[in-house]
Amino acid sequence: MASATPSNLVTSTFFLDAFAQRQWEPEYKGTVRITCEQSELVSRVDEAYTANPTLVDGYAPFCKHVFIKNFLPDVRVGALAITDENRHLLRSAYEKRRPEELAVLNRWFDVADVGIESVPVAEYLDIILYSREQLVKEYEAIPGKNEGAGANGLPDAPWGIISIKAQNESYETPMEPITAMRNALGREEGGSGVPIDRAAYDASVEYWNAHAPIRGL
């Protein structure tokens, strides 16, 4: 079966995975909507890697990062510190990312409530990568993913871009605790199958006790 990913979203090293492609959709509920062409983002990542062919280790051997300077003037940070002044603006709901996943409790700020002026333009984009081998395992666990093409629809490039985070840090910030929980539940529930690391989980709780994602940017 041919790749389900358009050829302009694939290089010899990277491809834009279907999970990340959601960040261009107008109805995307996550924190960072990307405003450039998808092909430009892939090209920027490839150029950064060509200039410095190093991948930063992530939470598991199959997860890596590329950090690039934010080149999009309208892409702002994806999380805000919780303060006494904005705590009452937090929203919450049970939600699922995809139809095949379980709904989980999320909390967030809406930019309409906190005001766009309180959300700075991000300094960096954290490009989160999964190895092709890991994505094959995840697509085999949930065949309906990847627009129904499953693992057979993946390009041959070794690394898939699975998420783009906008932030001021040039290093990995903690994943949300529920993400670690979902990962530990296994690939059949939309996670990666990586068990919880207690120290990393505690660090995640500490960070996200003091921060919340921003939506509506």
The tens digit of pLDDT for each residue in 115-170 reads: 999 999 999 999 999 999 999 999 888 776 655 555 677 999 999 999 999 999 99
List the chain domain ranges.
Answer: 7-215
Beta-bridge mates of residue 64: 57, 129
Q: Average pLDDT of the chain?
A: 92
pLDDT at 50: 97
Nearest of 179, 178, 174, 182 to residue 200 by alpha carbon: 174
Residue scoring higher pLDDT (167 or 2): 167
Q: Is the pLDDT of residue 1 over 60?
A: no
Higher pLDDT, 87 or 2: 87
In whole angstroms, what is the distance from residue 132 CA to residue 119 CA? 34
Overall average pLDDT of the 53-73 stretch: 97
Torsion (CA) 118, 75, 134, 193 in degrees, nearest 10: 10
Fold annotation for 7-215? YaeB-like fold (3.30.2310)
Token code pair at residue 62: 């199959």
138: CB partners within 8 A, 6+ apart: 130, 145, 187, 192
Cβ-based neighbours of 187, under 8 Å, separated by 6 or more: 137, 138, 140, 141, 142, 193
- pLDDT band of residue 190 (cuts 50, 70, 90) is confident
